[in-house]
Amino acid sequence: MRELASITDKERRLIADAWLPHVPGVDMGMTLMQFMMNAMAESSAPLASYVLNRVAEWLDGASRFHGDGLFGAIWTETEDTRVCTLSRKADDATWVVTWGPHEYLRGAVALTISGIGASGERQDIAIGEITTSAPGSGNRHGFDNAPTPVLGTVEGHACIGAFDDLCDFATAVRASIPDKLLEVEKQDAVTFAHVSRLEALDKILEADGGLPGRLCAVRQMLVVGGVNRIAGEWRRPQYPGLIDGLRSRGAVWGNGILSYNDSDYYCCLIDFSDGSIGLFSDNVATCADQHAYVARLEMSAGIVNSVAVYVFRETDNDYQGKIDAIGAGLADPDFVYDYVRQVPSFPGNRYGWYGMNMFLWQSLTDSIYGLESDRLEGGSRYWSKDSADAPTAISP
Instruction: Assign 3-class secondary structure to the chain.
Output: CCCHHHCCHHHHHHHHHCCCCCCCCCCCCHHHHHHHHHHHHHHHHHHHHHHHHHHHHHHHCCCECCECCCEEEEEEECCCCEEEEEEECCCCCEEEEEEECCCCCCCCCEEEEEEECCCCCEEEEEEEEECCCCCCCCCCCCCCCCCCCCCCCEEEEECCCCHHHHHHHHHHHHCCCCHHHHCCCHHHCECHHHHHHHHCCHHHHHHCCCCCCHHHHHHHHHHHHHHHHHHHHHHHHHHHHHHHHHHHCCCECCCEEEEECCCCEEEEEEECCCCCEEEEEEECCCCCCCCEEEEEEEEECCEEEEEEEEECCCCCCCHHHHHHHHHCCCCCCCEEEECCCCEEECCCCHHHHHHHHHHHHHHHHHHHCHHHCCCEEECCHHHCCCHHHCCCCCCC
205, part of any domain: yes
- Quote the pLDDT of residue 22: 82
Kindly report the average pLDDT of the chain as a whole number: 91
- Across the range 147-152, mean pLDDT stands at 91
Q: Is residue 371 domain-resident?
A: yes
Full residue range of the structural domain in which residue 315 is found: 249-389
Model pTM?
0.92
Residues 6+ apart with CB under 8 A from 304: 236, 239, 297, 298, 339
Phi-psi region of 293 (alpha: psi -120 to 50; beta: other; left: phi over 0): beta
pLDDT at 25 over 80: no
Same structural domain for residues 266 and 220? no
Based on the domain organization, do 170 and 271 belong to the same domain? no
Q: How far apart are CA 381 and CA 362, in angstroms?
A: 20
Q: How confident is the model at residue 287 (pLDDT cuts 50, 70, 90)?
A: confident
The C-alpha atoms of residue 352 and residue 63 are separated, in whole angstroms, by: 40
Q: Count of domains in the chain? A: 2
- Pick from 16-20, 143-147, 248-252, 325-329: least confident: 143-147
Confidence band for 274, pLDDT divided at 50, 70 and 90: very high
- Quick one: 352 and 215 in the same domain? no
Q: Which of 197, 229, 261 is the last residue in one of the domains? A: 229
- Residues 221, 273 within the same domain: no
Residue 395 lies in a domain: no
Is 285 buried (19+), middle (13-18) or exposed (0-12) by CB count in 10 A? middle
Do 181 and 256 lie in one domain? The reply is no
Q: What integer pLDDT is reported at residue 393 of this predicted model?
A: 45
pLDDT band at 4 (very low <50, low <70, confident <90, very high): low
Same domain as 278, residue 225: no
Same domain, yes or no, for 195 and 271?
no
